[in-house]
Structure formats: structure tokens, C-alpha cells
Structure 1
Amino acid sequence: MLPFEKNSRIVFCGDSVTDVNRDYKAIPAGWGSFGDGYVNLIHALLTAVYPDRELMVMNEGVSGDDIKLMEARWDRDVLAMNPDYVSVMIGINDVWRHFDGTFRQADLVSLDEFERTYDDLMERTAPHVRGLIVMSPFMMEPNRQDPMRAMVDRYAAAARRVADRHGAVYVDVQSAMDHFLERQSSYILSMDRCHPGIEGHMLVARTWLQCTGFEWERTTFDVQ
């Protein structure tokens, strides 16, 4: 449970699932900066339900990022924003390149390298923030024996270990997707099993808010 004190800055970092068409030229927390995905939905709900806290949400997702690309811009795009809370979702591209990058000799990120790099980022960031949030990479594929889905699960388990070691809130997005897929097809959420449509982004946002202590029934403001 995170308090998100008044005037807190919350930075979201990750890949295309976080980016979702955000305007890179927009000022932080300005028009167009939130993108069209879960970050925008979280921003809208935090603003609507916690107007008295005046929370600043910043989207620093970059489409195509794996953990090494994200690491290369971490100081500029995350730490330089002076965040109070940092939320990270990374890993799907680290997995995906093992399946679609072989014929172009993509630089592949091993599971060990993924976990070591993630550890380093959290170690560097923890002293500067009030809270860390680690979101699982996920795939909208119900067959856990599918080779790519099985690898996503291994990278998600690594993300959970990193969260546990650094006292971060862990947001198990994959479990939320799996619950949905017990009743409906993945095509309701995504055309490629990796990039959610708005329904999928709503699931991501709802799971994040549940894990961070969002008060869905809040009707009063904080005492000044």
C-alpha cells in the first residue's frame, strides 16, 4: 500500500505497453504526455478521485525498449525527473527478440542479464524515492506451455524476485490477464498477444491501482 502524498511525482517507465503513442515533445504531465494506455487511465483516476493530492504522473515509456535500452536512458528519463515513486514494466521485448530477432541477429538479453540489470536499476533508484513499483511483463496467451509465454513467465518471476529484494510493490499483471482468459479469447484484448487494446489497458490500470491501495470508494478529502 502506497500513500502517494500530496504533490507526489509518479514516473512510469517501460516499453511500448507504457508508451502507447505519448507525445515525446510534450512537457511532463502536459497535454499528450500520458499516451493512450494504462498510464493515462491511472492518471485520470488519480486525478478524479484524489484531486486534493495534486499528483503528477509522468510517462517515460519508449516503444521497443528492452531492459538494456531502458537502462541507457534511466538517469535522464527517470532519475532526472526527481520522482517520489517509480513504476516499471519491462521484459516483453527482452523475451520477444528471442523469437522475432534471430534472422536479424538482434542483441538478445538473457534471463540472468535481465535480472542483474533490473537489480542494478532498483539499487540505484531506491535511495532517491519513497516507493518502487515493479509490474510483471505479461502475454495474453492462455497456453502456459507456449514457448514464448513460458519464457515471459520466467522473466516475470525474475521481476518478482527483484521486487522482493528491494521492497517494491509487485503488480502481477499476468495473473489479471490469465483470469480474463479463463472466460474470453485473447483477441478481445490484443491482436498480437502482447500489445493490449483499451480493454487490456484497463485491466493493467485496475491491477496497478488495486496493488497500490487506490480507494475506489473515496468520497472525502484529506484533512488539511
Structure 2
Amino acid sequence: MTDDRAALRGLLASGAPVTWVFTGDSITHGLIHTRGARSYVDHLHELIRGDAGRVQDAVINTAITGWRTDLILGDFDRRVAHWRPDVVTLMIGTNDCTTEWLDPVIEVSAFAESIAEFVRRVREGGAVPVLQTPPTVDLLHAPDRARIGEFAQAIRDVAAREGVVLVDQYAAFAEFSAGTGPGNEGVPWGLLDDAFHPSAAGHALLALGWAEAVGIGGAGSPVLAELAARIAVARHPQWPPV
């Protein structure tokens, strides 16, 4: 089995410039729902090329709002290969899982096959894949995405089978609502701007989870400290608001 974590450690220790490509759907695209704040990829750009001092690294975001895994595979050269990446991060599934906007709907098994194909192509290009599960969804207001948990599990299964580094954002969002007070109905309200797009605080959580999983930054990182503070405020906001 490929040891992607060891490969990542080797890349970071080598001192050679690394090209990081992030791709996916609107969550990675990072428009509108941050309300002018940085997206998680923007935070990671600052972390990698700022705090970590990797000034010759390149951080590239090729995500497109509304896209699915099959669309990314169909445009793999532009989305991924064109940039000759060393590390490729994919967050996907929020659009793939809908039962309302696609005809026919995408089955979980077909989605899992597409994720495995993505991993295979990334490795064939000489890069290290990093998979992210999508965040949770407010199903009361987006019932067509009720299968999101199944799609997140499919990503976990592919990552486990193929030895891929996994950032389980779904689990992190699901855990967030615990202890944030009554009436949250299992939805991480402090992290969402609508039914399934993360807010600025949600993007802070995405960035922090990725950094911890990949091993970028440390106890002295100003970026990580700021992200943690934003998440703490979202968990326990000042009330009444000022």
C-alpha cells in the first residue's frame, strides 16, 4: 500500500518547492459565503507560504462552484495535471449526493469509484492525494442532500483502502454542535452561512483540520492560533451580540 503520509513528510523535509493544488466544488471555491473573509484555501496559503516560511511553494485553487467528481475527472488536465502538482487535495460530495438536481442521481458506489479513479490519476502524475469529506448539511433546509453522510463514508472507505491521507471535515462539523447549547438540532449553526456552505468560521475549522491532518504549522503558528480563536467564538458567541 502506498504510504502517502510518509511521502508528505519527505516532501516537507526535502526543502524543495512544493506545488499544492486544491480542487472541488463551491466550498473550496470559497466565494460569497465567507462574506469577504478568507476561505480555507486562503488561510492555508498564509500558513504554508507565511508561517511555515515555504515562500517558493505555490498554492493553487481550481475548484468550481457546483462541480462534482465526474466533472472534475472529465476536466482533470485543467483542474489538476496542468499545474504539475506535488500534493492534490480534493473536497467533494455535497453536489454529488443530491437527489433533486441530477437525473439520474449518482449512486454511492459510482461516487466511490470516481474517488478511487481520482486518487489513481493523481498518483500516476507523481503527486500525493489528500481526500476531505464534505461538511455536514442542514437537512431541514436541504433535504435533497440527505445522503451526504453516505458519501462522506464512501470517501473514508476509499482513503482507508488506498492508504490516502484523510481530513474528516464531516466528523469535525458533526462534533461541533455538541455543547453549544440547546436547540441546535445537531446542526453546527456557528459554522454555516446557509444549509451547506461554511461561513467564515466554518472555513477556519476546515483550514485547521487540514493543517492538523497534513502536518503543517505548529504551536507557534499565528495563523493556527487565529483559526482556533475564530472557532472558539463560533462555538460560544457573545450573547447578546454587540
Q: What TM-score range do you get, normalising by the shorter chain?
A: 0.7 to 0.9
Matched residue, 1:14: 24
Counterpart of 2:119, as a letter, is M
Distance 1:183 1:44 in 2: 31
Matched residue, 2:126: 129
Matched, 1:202 2:204: yes
Distance 2:22 2:109 in 1: 24
Q: Secondary structure at the match of 2:129?
A: strand
Counterpart of 1:124, as a letter, is R
Matched residue, 1:94: 96
Distance 2:162 2:113 in 1: 13
Q: Percent identity, aligned pairs only?
A: 27
Over 3 Å counting, the alpha-carbon distance change for 1:109 and 1:195 in structure 2 is same
Counterpart of 1:59, as a letter, is N
Residues paired across the two proteins, number: 200
Matched residue, 1:27: none
Counterpart of 1:108, as a letter, is V
How far off its partner does 1:177 sit?
Answer: 0.8
Matched residue, 2:106: 109
Over 3 Å counting, the alpha-carbon distance change for 1:172 and 1:148 in structure 2 is farther
Q: Deviations over 1:147-193 (max 9, x none)?
A: 66751111111111211232210100011112211133433221423
CA RMSD of aligned residues (A): 2.5
Matched residue, 2:42: 40
Q: Which moved more, 1:185-194 or 1:131-140?
A: 185-194
Give unpaired runs (5+ residues) of structure 1: 23-34, 220-224
TM-score, structure 1 as length reference: 0.80
Does the 8 A contact of 1:187 with 1:193 survive in 2?
Answer: no
- Aligned counterpart for 1:139 among listed residues 136, 141, 165: 136
How far off its partner does 1:65 sit?
Answer: 0.5
Distance 1:188 1:217 in 2: 25
Distance 1:140 1:108 in 2: 18
Distance 2:138 2:195 in 1: 6
Counterpart of 2:111, as a letter, is F
Does the 8 A contact of 2:23 with 2:62 survive in 1?
Answer: yes
Matched, 1:154 2:164: no
How far off its partner does 1:117 sit?
Answer: 1.2
Counterpart of 2:27, as a letter, is V
TM-score, structure 2 as length reference: 0.74
How far off its partner does 1:141 sit?
Answer: 4.2
Does the 8 A contact of 2:25 with 2:63 survive in 1?
Answer: yes
Q: Which moved more, 1:2-11 or 1:184-193?
A: 184-193
